[in-house]
Structure 1
Amino acid sequence: MLSVVMPVYNGEKHLQEAVDSVLQQTFSEFELIIIDDGSTDGSAKIIQQLSDSRIRVLRNGSNKGISYTRNRGLEEARGEFLAWMDCDDLISPDRFEKQLAYLKRHPLVGICGSWLTRFDENKSEVSKSPTDHAAIKALLLFKPALWNATAMYRLDRIKKAGLSFDTRLTVAEDYDFYWEACRKFPVANIPESLYFYRDSDSSIMKSFEGAEEKSFAIHKIIYTKSLHELGIAPTEAQLKIHRRIGSTQLFSTYSSYLEAVDWLIYLQKRNEIERVYEPNALSEILGIIFYFISKKSSRVGLPVYINYIKESKRFAPVDLYQRIKLLIRCLIKYRRF
């Protein structure tokens, strides 16, 4: 019924834990496809010693990259459903059981993800994302809204839609994939953390921290598609504003903050014409993003808070507690996100 695909590249440190986390699931009728993407550490030796009959091992021979490896997983999977698993993470023992049950209750949903818990040696934190299709689609205008590691697919929907991972993208390949998927069929997230993401130095995203130009070059491929749908032929400057809004970059001046706010207002107006996004869902997401960029601008001080109160009526507002938090941040000119 289920194929679980685990790409592996130099993951020896936590690989055994990740495999055990899959093999100990309450739902047991699955195949675990481990794809070694040309590892040069001890990963191959660990994989060779695995003895469970549900495990199928594939090797790329040389390092082909994550998009190539994910596409190979899509081709090799034999199950009705497919779930991803990263080689240094952990999952709740009932993850597969709960996601399969959700997909059976919601036959129109083609992809089901969940919330996830980010953890390291010192702390853990639950990362939440929208649960319904309209809000997920709207958030994808700015940033990922369905984490690939948590995703479970109806494989026939993926193949019928002709979906695959763009091999041009060395990061954010999953962001692009779900952007495309949202336009083919409904997707959803279960409002519960079923996945434990290890925030380690070996993660792909970590390798792109501090390399903003490389990351921007990749993300603007996705942003350009989104903006074209809204009837916008973006300039390089507009793409950089859009990237800054969706990233963790801080705003250091009031003018750059206002530029970002004006861009959100413009996107809302374009959607009133093009109707790409359900209006209430976009208003909700724009409200979240507006608060997000106001937090990132708190070092500017009280003018940011005053502008937030003035303009928040345009979008779905956040609650009183969040507004008070923003006020305090702006009063003390907080310089971190």
Structure 2
Amino acid sequence: MFFSIIIPLYNRPQEIDELLLSLTKQTYMQFEVLVIEDGSVNDAKNIVANYADELDVKYFVKPNAGQGFARNFGFERAKGDYFIIFDSDCLIPEDYLEIVKNYLFEHQLDAFGGPDAAHTTFTSVQKAISYAMTSPFTTGGIRGNKKHIGQFHPRSFNMGVSREVYEKVGGFILTRLGEDIEYSIRIHENGFKIGLIPEAKVYHKRRTSFAQFYKQLHFFGRARINIYKHFPKELKAVHFFPAVFVVGLGILLLSNVFYLPLGYVCNFFFLLFFVLIFFHAWQVNKSIKIAILSVIASFIQLFAYGLGFIQDFFKRVIFNQS
């Protein structure tokens, strides 16, 4: 089995350096790497060239069109039996491809995804963000686990599709705003089998600050409405949870300002919710500091996603604006 690893890149030379270094340590080496520089100003040409003796790596430069179309550019040039997509801010465990290869021989999936985790070298903020994005108490809890709700939709930071899928379904038709979910739905609709490989994790850095994290999650909330516009049946009750959180927060603030009895109830539930997050994050990361930061990250995750969701729900669904 031969893999083509496709990595879109935009102004992040340091990230691709760390990612390529992790790929040199793979225990299964039947793969090529295609780095697609998507109109970057700060390119990684020299960094990628440094790995030419250790990896079968190819470097391409194209005008900026977004990550979805950059991946399509890689698909068109890939030689593998499976195309694996990574985000540039991922580190890949040395047994990743070995795990995927063995799983695919046994289960014969047409497309797959895997979970993400925090690496020991991550900063405390990055570990807190990773917790928020994988916690059972946030929307992260429905992603990348064996008990996911409904159909499993691989996410593009850790996603693989067979050559047969690409030849029949094609590539991404959206370049951003939920492009990976839209692609997964089309793969399902064409009768292909998609599955989670639980052990095929990657270490996903995501964002290095809470400000960047807020911006990213606000974008994710808007992306969910974009998916709804293409596939209305894919909007589930669970996707409204962050919006309910935002509304509940508004009720909490108003109740406390005007001393309404409802404020006591809201205070109790919000306090209980964040206490649960604190102790669970403490148990997971064995650090009080990361537990405190995880409460902040979880708040940002729900608040930013919820605001983005509400914004585009009213704009694109209620008022039917483009």
TM-score range normalised by the length of the shorter chain? 0.5 to 0.7
Structure 1 residues not aligned, in runs of 5+: 230-238, 257-296, 306-321, 329-333
Give the match for residue 20 of structure 1: 21
Write the distance in 2 (CA, Å) between the matches of 1:197 and 1:248: 28
TM-score normalized by structure 2? 0.64
In the alignment, structure 1 residue 194 sits paired with structure 2 residue 190: no
In the alignment, structure 1 residue 117 sits paired with structure 2 residue 117: yes
Q: 1:37 to 1:252 in 2, by over 3 A?
A: same
Q: 1:207 to 1:34 in 2, by over 3 A?
A: farther
Q: Give SS of 1:252's match.
A: helix
Report the AA paired with residue 247 of structure 2.
F
In the alignment, structure 1 residue 222 sits paired with structure 2 residue 261: no
Give the match for residue 289 of structure 2: none
In the alignment, structure 1 residue 251 sits paired with structure 2 residue 247: yes
Give the match for residue 91 of structure 1: 92
Write the distance in 1 (CA, Å) between the matches of 2:103 and 2:249: 46
Give the match for residue 151 of structure 1: 159
Report the AA paired with residue 158 of structure 1.
Y
Write the distance in 2 (CA, Å) between the matches of 1:87 and 1:298: 45
Deviates more, 1:26-35 or 1:242-251: 242-251
TM-score normalized by structure 1? 0.62
8 Å contact from structure 1 (residues 99, 112) kept in 2: no
8 Å contact from structure 2 (residues 87, 156) kept in 1: no
Aligned residues: 252
Deviates more, 1:216-225 or 1:98-107: 216-225
Matches within 5 A, 1:213-292: 218-228=223-233, 244-245=240-241, 250-252=246-248
* Cα shift at 1:11: 1.0
* Cα shift at 1:191: 2.2
Matches within 5 A, 1:197-212: 197-201=204-208, 206=213, 208-209=215-216, 212=218
Q: 2:56 aligns with which of 54, 57, 71?
A: 54
Write the distance in 2 (CA, Å) between the matches of 1:248 and 1:14: 36
Matches within 5 A, 1:3-42: 3-42=4-43
Write the deviation string for residues 252-285 of structure 1: whole angstroms up to 9, x where unpaired. Answer: 26989xxxxxxxxxxxxxxxxxxxxxxxxxxxxx
RMSD: 3.9
Report the AA paired with residue 174 of structure 1.
D
In the alignment, structure 1 residue 300 sits paired with structure 2 residue 266: yes
Q: Give SS of 1:245's match.
A: helix
Q: 1:200 to 1:248 in 2, by over 3 A?
A: farther
8 Å contact from structure 2 (residues 116, 144) kept in 1: no
User: Larger RCO: Structure 1 or Structure 2 (Cα < 8 Å, ≥ 6 residues apart)?
Assistant: 2
* Cα shift at 1:47: 2.3
Structure 2 residues not aligned, in runs of 5+: 135-140, 253-262, 280-294, 303-322
8 Å contact from structure 1 (residues 114, 150) kept in 2: yes
Write the distance in 2 (CA, Å) between the matches of 1:177 and 1:202: 29
* Cα shift at 1:65: 1.2
Q: 1:138 aligns with which of 150, 168, 190?
A: 150
Q: 1:26 to 1:304 in 2, by over 3 A?
A: closer
Give the match for residue 74 of structure 2: 73
8 Å contact from structure 1 (residues 36, 59) kept in 2: yes
* Cα shift at 1:136: 5.0
Kindly indicate which of the two structures has a greater share of residues assigned to helix: 2
Q: 1:16 to 1:92 in 2, by over 3 A?
A: same
8 Å contact from structure 2 (residues 89, 206) kept in 1: no
Write the distance in 2 (CA, Å) between the matches of 1:31 and 1:176: 26
* Cα shift at 1:66: 0.7
* Cα shift at 1:157: 2.4
* Cα shift at 1:90: 0.3
Q: Give SS of 1:146's match.
A: coil
8 Å contact from structure 2 (residues 115, 198) kept in 1: yes
Identity %: 19
Report the AA paired with residue 115 of structure 1.
P
8 Å contact from structure 1 (residues 163, 180) kept in 2: no
Q: Give SS of 2:41's match.
A: coil
8 Å contact from structure 1 (residues 5, 73) kept in 2: yes
Deviates more, 1:172-181 or 1:30-39: 172-181
Q: 1:182 to 1:245 in 2, by over 3 A?
A: farther
Q: 1:103 to 1:299 in 2, by over 3 A?
A: farther
Write the distance in 2 (CA, Å) between the matches of 1:91 and 1:206: 22
Report the AA paired with residue 199 of structure 1.
R
Write the deviation string for residues 303-335 of structure 1: whole angstroms up to 9, x where unpaired. Answer: 899xxxxxxxxxxxxxxxx9x959x9xxxxx99
8 Å contact from structure 1 (residues 111, 154) kept in 2: yes
